[in-house]
Amino acid sequence: MKVQVTLSFKASSSASSTIDLIVSPFETVASLKKKVADVHLIPCPDQELYFDGKVLANESKLAKHGVREGCLLKLAVQATEKALVQQLSELLQTRDLSLDELGLLYCYKHGASIGQALELLGFQGKLVSFIGAQKTLSMNGDSVTLVREDSKLKPVVIGCDKKRVPLQEFDKKPSELAIGTPPGLGVDAPPGLGPALPPGLGAAPPGLAQPVESEGNDAVDAQQYVDLHNAIYSRTFSSKMKDSLNDLVVAISDMSFLDIDHVVTSGSVHKGTAISDAANAEIVLCVPELPGTRHATWLPSLLQAVASVLALQVDDLGIGSIIAGEESITLCMESPCQLVVNLFVSPVCASYKETIQVLGAQGPDASRFYTPAFAKERTQFISRQPSSVKQCIRLLKWWRDQQQWSSQKTCPNDDLLELAAVYSTVQTKPSDLKTAIANVLSLLSRFNQLRVVWSNYYSKESVSPELLRQRPLLMDPVNPYVNVADPQTFDASELMQLAQTTHFFW
């Protein structure tokens, strides 16, 4: 359904504005706030949503308050100097940061630049002037420092590299100090780039000590990679895909006989990695009181029933075909745009931790039925990566689609390419898109040597010793029971061969 949201900035000279928004009646107030923040890049944490003069609680659903098609809501945004200082202080807890590093991490965490945050405050000067006016922040040369009351935590210089660490860490062994950590790998970095780096990111695996350019690519200008990316992706395309998916979610929610608690959208469209002619999405209908075990006995028949209801509305929904499987329903959308959607039905879990515990009790064989339960975390892992990583991912998908694969087992899926791109770009820190692609292809050419365990949602100790012994090993970043590169489901031989022998453009 479409609603109107009027934005009011209490502490800013910015004029109020009204936007149209597509939402589901099953969405929470917090979800609507996030959508508005994504559109208007609002980093302010203090927001209140009003409807009929009442403040709506974050965890409540829109339908509960009678929000329906065409309703007008008001979002009051309170931009305060205190809130911005607190956000900056949180980023500076681990170490001092340069202005560029601070700006990057702020954008990663809050989805907007510091300049936009200052504009919302009505602050006319630059960040340096703002810092100079704060008691808890200061400039130390070119770095921003958090002023602490406890003098024991003031930074000291260790060694000739001028790396600053808190004094309380001075007695640690050199290997334990956070020396040499590149910008963006601090506590508040996006998922996949946390302080406990995945095994293998500290040093390159064999054959990857230095970034490698693909043979024969020297004649190709770096701009050609940018031009190709712009040809297969645009913000207009991305927005169109998201609008189509949101419309489909609303339509399915309205006609479904299920008591839907909430809906999660995932896939390349919501990760921000979709390309033209190869866009896919996932819709997860989270339903309370569904059994949490023995999915194979009840899920296929439930999916068949949902598919039968959808089949009655194929023309209205723009669906070309519906295929009900044992784990999901595949919808091939033809209008208003071509889009492949996998529809899942999942029990409601109280938390990510509870889902892991339930899955652990059932064993790894149940993992395939719990894929939709991790859709939110899996989407966030990729969607919060820097735009340069997403550009690399999109080009990798284009390259994959140009190749001839002998079977589905030998063709790398989206998850595998996305994780390989994240791993490679963090490790090699490429200077441009051409180098990023060359580095990933070099990694893929040695794929059988790969060993990556992420550390944002679970620790290495959560992975079974049997799984850790698999090669190649590219762990699912949110599910400690799944190796995305499991040799039983993916044969890497063709991928390695093509990565070694093909040129990117021909």
185: confidence class by pLDDT, cuts 50, 70, 90: very low
CA-nearest of 476, 480, 434 to 461 is 480
Is the confidence at residue 202, as pLDDT, over 90? no
- For 209, which DSSP code? S
Is the confidence at residue 493, as pLDDT, over 50? yes
Q: Which two tokens stand for residue 139?
A: 């400039």
Q: Could you read off the pLDDT of 334-370 as tens digits, one per residue?
A: 876 788 999 999 998 878 888 888 888 887 778 888 8
Higher pLDDT, 199 or 261: 261
191: confidence class by pLDDT, cuts 50, 70, 90: very low
| Strand 2-9 with 72-77, pairing | parallel
Quote the CA–CA distance of 365 and 182 in Å, as a whole number. 39
Is the confidence at residue 217, as pLDDT, over 70? no
The dihedral over CA atoms of 443, 447, 453, 454, expressed in degrees to the nearest 10, equals: 40
Q: Which two tokens stand for residue 471?
A: 């090669």
Which three-class secondary structure state does DSSP give residue 357? helix
Averaged pLDDT, 277-301: 88
User: Phi/psi at 284 (nearest 5 deg)?
Assistant: -115, 115
419: confidence class by pLDDT, cuts 50, 70, 90: very high
506: confidence class by pLDDT, cuts 50, 70, 90: low
Question: CA-based diameter of the chain, in Å?
Answer: 72
8-22, 51-65, 346-360: least confident range? 8-22
2-79 CATH fold:
Ubiquitin-like (UB roll) (3.10.20)
Quote the CA–CA distance of 275 and 265 in Å, as a whole number. 17
Residue 307 near residue 317, CB atoms below 8 Å: no
C-alpha dist (Å) from residue 356 to 221, 281, 328, 359, 428: 46, 24, 21, 5, 32
Quote the CA–CA distance of 300 and 303 in Å, as a whole number. 5
Residue 238 near residue 274, CB atoms below 8 Å: yes
Residue 74 near residue 47, CB atoms below 8 Å: no
CATH architecture of structural domain 235-501:
Orthogonal Bundle (1.10)
- Provide the pLDDT for residue 422: 94
pTM: 0.62
- Provide the pLDDT for residue 177: 28
Q: Where are the domains of the chain?
A: 2-79, 82-176, 235-501
- Provide the pLDDT for residue 16: 65
468-480: burial string, b at 16+ Cβ within 10 Å, e else = bebebbbbbbbbb
Average pLDDT, the chain: 79
State how far Cα 32 lies from the chain centre.
Answer: 18
Q: Which two tokens stand for residue 114?
A: 């510091």
CA-nearest of 82, 51, 80 to 66 is 51
Q: Could you read off the pLDDT of 420-450 as tens digits, one per residue?
A: 999 999 888 898 999 999 999 999 999 999 9
